[in-house]
Amino acid sequence: MPAQSAVAWIGDASSGNLRLIDQTVLPVEYRELNLRTVEEVWEAIKALRVRGAPAIGVAAAYGVIVGTQSALSAARPEFDARLDQVLTYLATSRPTAVNLFWALDRMRRVANATSGLTSAELVDHLLAEARRIELEDREMCAAIGRHGLPLLKECSGVLTHCNTGGLATAGDGTALAVIFAAARDNPSLQVYADETRPLLQGARLTAWELMQRGVPVKLICDSMAGWVMKERRVQAVIVGADRIAANGDSANKIGTYSLSVLARAHNIPFYIAAPSSTFDLTIQSGDEIPIEQRASAEITNAFGRQTAPDGCDTYNPAFDVAPAENITALITEKGVIQPVTKAQIARVLE
């Protein structure tokens, strides 16, 4: 990974900006974006220039700063109205990743608790909170790696899906943090990375990150995962999550449900690695998780090349939900949740 973090704040509260690695052009091109308006931040989240639930949360928190800089000299009532507008707007960028709403709620609570401050003073407090969200995420990634390492100790091969590394977080990642820790312990560990259709985050991002870190990786099509398991090339599957219900049902990039079914059929442990901020205990099961539907062109004209007939109808959900009964364990910064039950989740998260 480059020295530059995937999500970073550059400068002070009054004139600084959000800097992102544009993930839509990797691995062919490495490009950094300096975002100075809330509209640019919204577009970056919506267009997957920044993606991964934790990174989205960090980006949204910093998006609040760029969105309110124009109201620094306004009286508090006017500033508070602008802040509410920015928070509401950013919340419409992606519906599934709960970290987005969690981070925005933290920023709102800071504002509600500081009614005696001037607008400029409040922005300083908001930037401090956004920096805390980023730092906490980095620390959570390290803890997830430590807690998950023992689960991969006996593995010579592991399968992962989508991208869950430094590009998806402020630190080493979630599922990839565990894989990085396991690879340090066992340099011969072989990682199998799904392409992850339709936007190929596994091919474009995960394979790139693993190669940057010198971790052995083999790229496979999503539809090859079952055969890789059948051939016993992997002894575990580990993925991330964008939202986890109170009972442990876990939403992640489309294709995760299939992996959970295949892993169970082949008696292979299936792990979800995610920070506690990804849990949404207000919903009881995965049936309540909103599933984002994305544009048909991502399937019919992926990366600018037409691969389907004109007018072909599509169904393009961005996520699916792995049921708790298919999940061997949930790996969090607070520890490993096993078995995956509502009571065990509540106990560990407390």
State which H helix or E strand residue 250 sits in.
Answer: strand 250-253
Q: Where are the alpha helices (DSSP H) in the chain?
A: 38-46, 53-68, 76-90, 98-112, 119-148, 175-185, 201, 207-212, 225-230, 256-265, 297-300, 342-349
318, pLDDT greater than 80: yes
Mean pLDDT of the chain: 96
| Average pLDDT over every residue of 306-335 | 97
- The token duo for 332 is 């969090």
Q: Are 176 and 160 in contact (CB under 8 A)?
A: yes
pLDDT digits (tens, 9 = 90+) for 147-179: 999 999 999 999 999 999 999 999 999 999 999
Domains and CATH numbers, the chain: 7-142 (1.20.120.420), 144-349 (3.40.50.10470)
Query: pLDDT confidence of 96, banded at 50, 70, 90?
Result: confident
Give me the pLDDT at residue 5, please: 83
DSSP for 9-55 reads EES-TTT-EEEEE-TTSTTT---EEEE-SHHHHHHHHHTTSS-SHHH
1, pLDDT greater than 60: no
Catalytic residue list contains 242: yes
Catalytic residue among 80, 194, 222, 242: 242
Nearest in space to 324 (alpha carbons), one of 283, 294, 290: 283
Q: Are 79 and 71 in contact (CB under 8 A)?
A: yes
Give me the pLDDT at residue 4, please: 61
Nearest in space to 167 (alpha carbons), one of 134, 205, 138: 205
Q: Are strands 7-10 and 17-21 parallel, antiparallel or unpaired?
A: antiparallel
For the chain, what percent of residues have pLDDT higher than 70? Answer: 99
Give me the pLDDT at residue 3, please: 43
pLDDT digits (tens, 9 = 90+) for 279-299: 999 999 999 999 999 999 999
Q: Global pTM?
A: 0.90
Q: Are 196 and 222 in contact (CB under 8 A)?
A: yes
